[in-house]
């Protein structure tokens, strides 16, 4: 009982310190005006999230990829953001009157615009709380992407494992898959994600679209 109480206090103290570091990091980011997920500021946010382990990010601190957290974040960020190197958080700058097509995430009413293949603009309308929301989501994505990279990359030259090559070939060539082919791809994906085939299949069912099964 005593050990349990001590552990509870230690956990609470760690969380309190992590929240303080998160708050300080955010203040620095607001002052600097830019953020590199794998830079010093990104390290601070990432470390704080790994200590806090927010419920919405599930098993972020474990080696396996967090699937439910991934669904949560994908539904709240604009489609295509994972392809962009530059993400700008802006006020309403009149893009709705341009040729840019607005992108609105299904679970969050925020208007976004894909400026080019490398840049996504996200209109911020709710102040700092929304910026915090977006930055923590992006940090979560980077944490999970590094888990995948550690599984996939064989060396510093960029050579990848067999399963990744098969997935990459399917995606880059937009190949149509039979049901059997899809199960093979899901099996490869499960291996990369550190998840069971059943878990991966369930997430696929949740994320698939009518025009992109």
Specify whether 19 is located in the same domain as 95: yes
What percent of the chain is predicted at pLDDT more than 90? 54
Q: What are phi and psi of 89, to 5 degrees?
A: -100, 115
Specify whether 13 is located in the same domain as 99: yes
Specify whether 137 is located in the same domain as 191: no
Instruction: State the residue for tokens 């600097």.
Output: 32
pTM of the predicted protein model:
0.84
> Looking at residue 6, what is its pLDDT?
45
Specify whether 143 is located in the same domain as 190: no
> Looking at residue 105, what is its pLDDT?
94
- Choose the most confident range, by mean pLDDT, from 6-10, 49-53, 83-87, 208-212: 83-87
More confident residue, 181 or 15: 181
Among 102, 123, 152, the domain-final residue is 152
> Looking at residue 3, what is its pLDDT?
53
What does the pLDDT average to over 22-40? 74
Residue 99: burial class (beta carbons within 10 Å; 0-12, 13-18, 19+):
exposed
What does the pLDDT average to over 74-93? 92
What is the DSSP secondary structure assignment for residue 102, as one 8-state letter?
A: E
- Other CB atoms within a 10 A radius of the CB of residue 186 amount to 19
What does the pLDDT average to over 27-52? 78
Specify whether 213 is located in the same domain as 140: no
Query: Please, are residues 32 and 44 in contact by the beta-carbon 8 Å criterion?
Result: no
Average pLDDT, the chain: 87
Q: Is the pLDDT of residue 184 over 70?
A: yes
Specify whether 55 is located in the same domain as 142: yes
- How much of the chain is helix, strand and coil, in % rounded to 5? 60, 10, 35
Specify whether 108 is located in the same domain as 58: yes
Token reading at 140 = 């979560």
Among 107, 129, 152, the domain-final residue is 152
Specify whether 128 is located in the same domain as 164: no
Query: Please, are residues 121 and 111 in contact by the beta-carbon 8 Å criterion?
Result: no
Query: Please, are residues 151 and 143 in contact by the beta-carbon 8 Å criterion?
Result: no
Q: What are phi and psi of 102, to 5 degrees?
A: -65, 140
Specify whether 131 is located in the same domain as 174: no
Query: Please, are residues 91 and 124 in contact by the beta-carbon 8 Å criterion?
Result: yes
Domain that holds residue 163: 153-213
Token reading at 104 = 């609105």
Token reading at 129 = 């709380």
Specify whether 141 is located in the same domain as 165: no
Specify whether 101 is located in the same domain as 188: no
> Looking at residue 2, what is its pLDDT?
41
What does the pLDDT average to over 118-140? 90
> Looking at residue 9, what is its pLDDT?
55
Q: Is the pLDDT of residue 44 over 90?
A: no
Cα–Cα distance, 176 to 193 (Å, whole number):
22
Strand pairing partners for 122?
89, 112
Task: For residue 18, name the pLDDT band (cuts at 50, 70, 90).
Answer: confident
Specify whether 107 is located in the same domain as 185: no
Among 114, 136, 152, the domain-final residue is 152
pLDDT in tens, 197-209: 999 999 999 888 7
Bridge-based pairing state of the strands 86-90 and 119-123: parallel
If one counts the domains in the chain, the total is: 2
């Amino acid at each position: 009982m005593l050990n349990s109480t001590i552990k509870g206090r230690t956990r609470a103290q760690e969380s309190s310190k992590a929240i303080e570091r998160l708050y300080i990091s955010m203040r620095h980011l607001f002052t600097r005006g830019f953020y590199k997920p794998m830079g010093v500021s990104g390290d601070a946010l990432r470390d704080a999230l790994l200590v806090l382990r927010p419920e919405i990010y599930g098993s972020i601190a474990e080696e396996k990829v967090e699937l439910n957290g991934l669904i949560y974040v994908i539904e709240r960020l604009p489609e295509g953001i994972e392809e962009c190197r530059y993400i700008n958080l802006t006020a309403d700058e009149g893009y709705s009157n341009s040729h840019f097509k607005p992108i609105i995430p299904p679970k969050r009413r925020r208007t976004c615009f894909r400026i080019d293949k490398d840049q996504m603009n996200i209109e911020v309308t709710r102040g700092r709380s929304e910026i915090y929301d977006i930055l923590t989501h992006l940090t979560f994505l980077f944490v999970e992407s590094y888990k995948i990279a550690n599984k996939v990359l064989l060396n510093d030259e960029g050579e990848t494992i067999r399963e990744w090559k098969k997935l990459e070939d399917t995606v880059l060539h937009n190949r149509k898959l039979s049901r059997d082919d899809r199960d093979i791809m899901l099996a490869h994906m499960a291996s990369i994600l550190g998840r069971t085939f059943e878990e991966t299949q369930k997430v696929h069912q949740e994320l698939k679209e009518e025009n992109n099964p």
